Amino acid sequence: MDAEDSYHEYLRLDELLSLQQPRAPKDGPDHTVLSEHFFIVCHQTCELWLKQILVDLAAVEEAFLTMRTADLERAADLLYRVGDLLRLLHEQLVAMERLPLEDFANFRRYLGSASGVQSTQFHQLDRKLGNAARTGILYTAFAQGVERTGGTVAAIVEAGVAAGTEHRIVEGLLHLGNGYMRWKVGHVGLTSRMLGENTGTGGSAGVGYLMDRATLPFAELRALRGRVHQRKSGVAGTTAGRGASASD
């Protein structure tokens, strides 16, 4: 087996690269098939990265069961990695804005009722992170782990860097929560640019539906961080006499 064979076989490239199958007729304009290929690659790579994100987050949840410092340190690194992967997925949406509208309008009918809203992996991620109305699985697992060690998340947020590894976890959760929101906002922008006021293939109202669903995960952590300001401003001499500014 030569090096090229082993690379192809290790990555199962024959299978992987045969999975991009545009449905637009080959006897139509070439550029439509090319654009549909681009559309498929964007969605498939998104699903691949979601797969990685979900296994990474499963490892993070396991660390919240043991609460050992070494496990938590690895978990913090994974949270930052997941945040970076979400940034990558956001960049991919920006690239997708280069999908030529005319071609999209040509091949969109071949999607049928297929829509990202049916993405099982995406829904799993959504449940892990939660949103403004619903606490996510990750936050609950972390808060329970902290309580088992006799602490509270509020105390960790209050302590900041002095809380060490647990502080890094809090920062990591917020890093990926904001990354997720960035993806959602990017997706609204892309959808609005590609569909205008049209409804989605999944049957939703389109942009309005997506706007309503774009809320920030980890509301609990955001509220706890807000309380740090209240406590600090209650300490005599820290903010007294300072006028409110746009950066407050």
CB atoms within 10 A of CB 101: 12
- Choose between 176 and 195: whose C-beta lies nearer to ligand HEM: 195
State residue 67 phi and psi, 5-degree precision: 60, 20
- Amino acid identity of 102? E
- Choose between 119 and 178: whose C-beta lies nearer to ligand HEM: 119
Helix runs in the chain, H state only: 3-10, 13-16, 30-66, 69-96, 101-107, 120-129, 137-148, 153-159, 165-195, 207-213, 219-234
Supply the minimum distance, in Å, between the C-beta of residue 23 and ligand HEM. 15
**Which of 32, 106, 165, 201 is in the footprint of ligand HEM by CB under 6 A?**
201
Residues of this chain, 104-163, that bind ligand HEM according to CB under 6 A: 104, 115-117, 119, 122
Supply the minimum distance, in Å, between the C-beta of residue 184 and ligand HEM. 6
Torsion angle (degrees, nearest 10) of CA 162, 163, 165, 166: -150
**Which of 154, 194, 216, 228 is in the footprint of ligand HEM by CB under 6 A?**
194
Supply the minimum distance, in Å, between the C-beta of residue 101 and ligand HEM. 9
Please, what is the end-to-end C-alpha distance for the chain in angstroms? 63
Q: Which DSSP category does 114 fall into?
A: -
Supply the minimum distance, in Å, between the C-beta of residue 54 and ligand HEM. 13
Where does this chain bind ligand HEM (CB under 6 A)?
A: 42-43, 46, 96, 99, 104, 115-117, 119, 122, 187, 190-191, 194-195, 200-204, 206, 209-210, 213
